[in-house]
Amino acid sequence: MKTFPFQTAKVDAKGNVISRPKLQGKQFVEDLGNGVTLEMVQIPGGTFMMGSPPTEKDRGSDESPQRQVKVSGFFMGKYEVTQAQYQAIMEKNPSHFKGENQPVEQVSWDDAVEFCKKLSEKTGRKYKLPSEAEWEYACRAGTETPFYFGETITPELVNYNGDYPYGAAPKGKGLGETTNVGIFPANPFGLCDMCGNVYEWCQDVYNKNYQGAPEDRSAWLNSKDNNIKLLRGGSWITDARNLRSASCRDFARENRFNYVGFRVVAGA
């Protein structure tokens, strides 16, 4: 395990950066061969309120009721799985926007699960998709605001569709495609692109609200339709409101689009 330095950002209600805290995290690095590595960040255990409060602007009914969730420690990919990493494990690259350090996209839920299986076999360590609770806990990183940077976001901090801002933030120019992972500031746990770039598959099936949801970090696998899975994080093509830490989206497991990828989780 090694310590790594990183910088995050804090914004005011209009999206102006008011500070850029310098922090440290811990990670281990998995060697995938041919110079390709996978950086896994240590996520400390804790308790948080999952979902959005009734006062949050543009919230969805599937983000409630808010509930307290207890999370034990785990490791999460510092970045969305890149095309180089996917190529190293799966020996193919289905992405529309090509670039070794850009996130892999056009992958189905089952493609992502297969990647985790093959990665586990290669490394001898158990990898999986994050549960929704793990994902939101890691995304929030101790924050309670709509975004981990504060009350809003801007295209200077996140890759999304800047024509559709959030709150009092001004419009901004979107990039119209994915970017290399890690070029924007990290969240307070040292994770990059938890908002924007590509949507990320979670283990869970989609439910219309949190009535009966687990109160730990386990995946919620009980639903009427096991084929409808859950996406988190928003993407390069997405309105700002859909990049909030609590925002979720339902998606058929077989769908493959150029705005959907994933990141991986390993046990403590």
The structural domains of the chain, with segments of one domain joined by +, span 2-267
Angle made by CA atoms 148, 153, 159, in degrees to the nearest 5: 100
Q: Is 90 exposed, middle or buried (0-12, 13-18, 19+ CB in 10 A)?
A: middle
pLDDT of residue 95: 98
139 within 8 A of 41, measured Cβ to Cβ: no
Query: Using CA atoms, how far apart are residues 42 and 260, in angstroms rounded to an integer?
Result: 24
205 within 8 A of 213, measured Cβ to Cβ: no
Closest of 107, 113, 74 to residue 191, by C-alpha: 74
Task: Please report where in the chains the tokens 């999206």 appear, as a residue.
Answer: 15
| Residue 74 Cα distances to 36, 103, 134, angstroms | 22, 22, 9
Beta bridge partners of 7: 22
Both tokens of 247, joined, read 């925002």
pTM of the predicted model as reported, rounded to 2 decimal places: 0.96
Query: Using CA atoms, how far apart are residues 94 and 198, in angstroms rounded to an integer?
Result: 14
Cβ-proximal residues to 16 (8 Å cutoff; 6+ apart), any chain? none
Q: Mind listing the pLDDT tens digit of every residue in the chain (268 residues)? A: 999 999 999 999 999 999 999 999 999 999 999 999 999 999 999 999 999 999 999 999 999 999 999 999 999 999 999 999 999 999 999 999 999 999 999 999 999 999 999 999 999 999 999 999 999 999 999 999 999 999 999 999 999 999 999 999 999 999 999 999 999 999 999 999 999 999 999 999 999 999 989 999 989 988 777 899 999 999 999 999 999 999 999 999 999 999 999 999 998 7
- The hierarchical CATH code for the domain 2-267 is 3.90.1580.10
pLDDT of residue 205: 95
99 CB neighbour count, 10 Å cutoff: 16
Both tokens of 151, joined, read 């009350």
Helix axes 109-123, 83-90, angle to 10 degrees: 70
